[in-house]
Structure 1
């Protein structure tokens, strides 16, 4: 785990090393201050002010240097911890970009967000503790014990006896609290998932007037987190009373035994200044234990967070580019050979079974099927968003598993069923298809996708700002913008996954005509529920239960007297073609 996390320190190694260095200098001065103070107290009995002034000036200089080193360690430590957190978030985010859909399904999007936010913050706080407090505490403990032993072994034994008692109590608290924190983060994921679902579906929630139900659901999730945190905090709260009792007891014993020693032996065994310094060292020793307990609590919480982060960083994606993978997709031909597919090993039933297809480059293929017939699952195998369980999918005669992933996906443009637009201008959204596209290219693809007509009606035209999720454009407008974005890639294969469902049949026909005439060499796969969207396809595939049940042209399938004919007649009110 540590080895994985340390890779994210990178350019902040120097700051991470300098922080403990300045802390060490600060501690040395802090530990020497009581000694100088003891000499000052003992010199105050004389008649000359010179020693007092000398020690007073020395104390001021040491205090100022200690303050300076403390300031430097705090400033550099903040740079190191914040920089480390920045790199860690970037590393996790970059890792997620390489995940397959199956990997995202495994972790869940809400859990990944929690790991990049809450978990990284916990690790950041722990890292700052480690390079500052975790260095300061043991050094102060060791120096204070050594110096106090040189003053009085008998008096120092009081502190030495307290150390194992306090340490045992602290370790017991951490041991009990650690499993609770593990449960807390699991409940965090559940709560964040509830929030994410609610925000994404807020329009549905409001249209069904289910705000009360959602509030109750969130209340339960928040209450679960609160319950576990309260349990952990109650246990951690024992920390301070135990420490304060030990500190008070130790100081009382030192004062009592020290005063008694001074009275009985005068200044031969222990001076007033030495007693004062012993009290200071006692406070430093036991305060160090208090800070150490804080480090343990923060680190115990951060350990579970670190494990969750490392789980992402060390996860090997189920889909990776092969070494020296093929980088050129020559054409858009596609072959499915005895393909079967399951979303996971735990799936009882395969999503696709025994699929065999031979699609020529430049053909238009229509796919029809009911809900749950695995239409989307089929097309996701082409761009290798998932890997087949059995069989082989080939593009341009080469198994998709032999392609460099980036090169393959760059030649397969997919307009998914759930259209996604990002916050930004229309131009910025379109240029996801081609980042250096000229304004003329943007206008051209928008005309092909029948998007230019409504864009020109906006006051700002192509500079119109799209709200997050495309909430300020209609479903049909969003679909046409996504089709235009895909066309900018000039792909070898274009997949439209029910991407014209929100446009009228006339606009749908114009878009298909434009695609047929403007990109004749591109293989076009159209998934649709309307048979009118598939009539002019070179071949139509009917899926049912993850199997191909019918395959042929529009006329052939109408004559087959199967599912396609039934759907066609239901959509045309039973009218037969002339």
Structure 2
């Protein structure tokens, strides 16, 4: 947790104020029993009503001051902790946003969500406790011991005898609880994973009548989490009875021996009452420490999990020496692959091997091949979602690894294989490509993407709300909105990763005709399964098992590439292919 303390720096002033307020609160609480002793030993003993009223008024004033300090310290500690949690969440989200797919796969999406929410909440909660209880407890314990010794040193031995028992209980229970807290967070990750899959895949689950199976999965994960949580709570629940038993026996012993000392004339009744109050303060301060020990192990595990994420160095990051290398819209958008080989982490064989080609502005470069040929992997290297193992990917003659990622991606309009829409309006989703796009630009992009017709058919047009994940639009509508999002950007390079697969042939043809005019000055790279989509491309690259087995126009490949001929024969008649 100490490594996360650096995020507390903006709140140092507020923390210092909380410490001052807590110190004042403890002083008021320590002073009250002394006043009470004076009331009993002087005012009651001598029947001095005036003295009783004066001391009583002073006690009320001090109690009110202590209450004010308590309220103020609670307010500022909560404010500082909330700000700390907010900053930590922002830092974690910002850091995770820089991860490549490799890092996401390593940690897991559900675990990242748990770490950003539940784990940070645990630390935020402990931060409040540390500023309040962890400061109050030692102050009250030390102050109580000093005041108890000042009241009666002999009777203080009873408190000294009870302290080792309380400390041993805290240490034993804390040591047993730590491993279980670590297991608890992992089981929470598992529960989130099952729930996330159950919610996002609800249509598939219902289509295959797997509702009961998914419910069983969730129940098993939930029962596993509950079982561990119960074990933790049973261990922690044992702490309070042990401590209360020790405290009650201590109080009985104090009253017993205190009564003997009063009979012998070594102590006054008021002093015994004050001593009991100080003993309660000392022992209850140890209870505060025990409460901290209950939540501290879980927070320590949470801190460890957050540090694990923050300490990951993204595999893909900018070379800061090259930050001024380029501007977003300089160059023409020429894409070149030079002997590129790539393999996924841990894979034995490369997914792509010795890939070389050049795609320039005003050209349409199409990539086709069987399932698993490496088509999507190839185009994911252009915006640098992955880094090559060997060889070079260049944009406008510059290695993409030497170009700031923001600059590189500003040049590219990317339409992924699986169209992703965000909650918000249709206009918001298209503007994701260009924040300051005008209404006319939105309309033009939607018209080119063949989306304008179905948008106008919706009740609110461009202001129609898109549900989470785009569940209220069809697959073809999703793809057209994703294409409009790329078009509104007007980039130098368009990358379409099988982005026409959900369109009917008529819409596909109209869209390609509109794109041809809109993208005539840009570099266009298309991955497609349909031959009809790429038949007019200036360059068709045929991939087979990660290698280029053919490159050229449609007519040339029919003569020279067996793989391409097989693909064409499986989709088109002889007349269509000619």
**Does the 8 Å contact 2:422/2:470 carry over to 1?**
yes
- Aligned position for 2:338: 337
Three-state SS of the structure 2 residue aligned to 1:270 is: coil
Alignment partner of 1:210 is 2:210 = yes
Distance 1:21 1:327 in 2: 53
User: 1:395-434 counterparts in 2 under 5 A?
Assistant: 395-434=395-434
**Does the 8 Å contact 2:340/2:390 carry over to 1?**
yes
Please state how far the C-alpha of 1:527 moved relative to its aligned partner: 0.9
Distance 1:569 1:85 in 2: 60
Please state how far the C-alpha of 1:459 moved relative to its aligned partner: 2.2
**Does the 8 Å contact 2:88/2:120 carry over to 1?**
yes
Please state how far the C-alpha of 1:534 moved relative to its aligned partner: 0.8
Three-state SS of the structure 1 residue aligned to 2:361 is: coil
- 2:317 aligned residue (302, 317, 320): 320
- Aligned position for 2:110: 110
Distance 2:158 2:547 in 1: 80
**Does the 8 Å contact 2:568/2:577 carry over to 1?**
no
Q: Larger deviation: 80-89 or 357-366?
A: 357-366
- Aligned position for 2:41: 42
- Aligned position for 1:392: 392
Please state how far the C-alpha of 1:375 moved relative to its aligned partner: 1.2
Distance 1:355 1:230 in 2: 57
Alignment partner of 1:358 is 2:342 = no
- Aligned position for 1:63: 63
**Does the 8 Å contact 1:188/1:225 carry over to 2?**
yes
Three-state SS of the structure 2 residue aligned to 1:384 is: coil
Change (3 A) 1:577 1:134: closer
Query: Cα RMSD (Å) of the superposition?
Result: 1.4
Three-state SS of the structure 2 residue aligned to 1:340 is: strand
Distance 1:185 1:375 in 2: 39
Three-state SS of the structure 2 residue aligned to 1:337 is: strand
- Aligned position for 2:557: 557
Change (3 A) 1:445 1:109: same
Please state how far the C-alpha of 1:382 moved relative to its aligned partner: 0.6
User: 1:15-414 counterparts in 2 under 5 A?
Assistant: 15-43=14-42, 44-263=44-263, 265-266=264-265, 269-323=266-320, 324-325=322-323, 326-328=325-327, 329-344=330-345, 346-414=346-414
Please state how far the C-alpha of 1:576 moved relative to its aligned partner: 6.3
- Aligned position for 2:486: 486
Please state how far the C-alpha of 1:294 moved relative to its aligned partner: 0.5
Distance 2:179 2:352 in 1: 42
Distance 2:36 2:137 in 1: 22
Please state how far the C-alpha of 1:476 moved relative to its aligned partner: 0.8
Three-state SS of the structure 1 residue aligned to 2:251 is: helix
- Aligned position for 2:521: 521
Please state how far the C-alpha of 1:561 moved relative to its aligned partner: 5.2
**Does the 8 Å contact 1:421/1:470 carry over to 2?**
yes
Please state how far the C-alpha of 1:354 moved relative to its aligned partner: 2.0
Three-state SS of the structure 2 residue aligned to 1:253 is: helix
Distance 1:17 1:64 in 2: 22
Distance 2:26 2:246 in 1: 23
What TM-score does the superposition give when structure 1 sets the normalisation length? Answer: 0.96
Cα deviation code 1:257-286 (max 9, x no counterpart): 1101111x12xx111111111111111111
**Does the 8 Å contact 2:415/2:497 carry over to 1?**
yes
- What is the aligned residue count? 573
What TM-score does the superposition give when structure 2 sets the normalisation length? Answer: 0.96
Distance 1:230 1:200 in 2: 30
**Does the 8 Å contact 2:549/2:561 carry over to 1?**
no
Distance 1:127 1:102 in 2: 33
Three-state SS of the structure 2 residue aligned to 1:153 is: coil
Please state how far the C-alpha of 1:569 moved relative to its aligned partner: 1.4
Please state how far the C-alpha of 1:314 moved relative to its aligned partner: 2.6
User: 1:431-470 counterparts in 2 under 5 A?
Assistant: 431-470=431-470
Distance 1:458 1:397 in 2: 45
Q: Larger deviation: 306-315 or 177-186?
A: 306-315
Please state how far the C-alpha of 1:289 moved relative to its aligned partner: 0.7
Distance 1:147 1:381 in 2: 71
Three-state SS of the structure 1 residue aligned to 2:312 is: coil
User: 1:528-539 counterparts in 2 under 5 A?
Assistant: 528-539=528-539
Three-state SS of the structure 1 residue aligned to 2:393 is: strand
Distance 2:360 2:561 in 1: 26
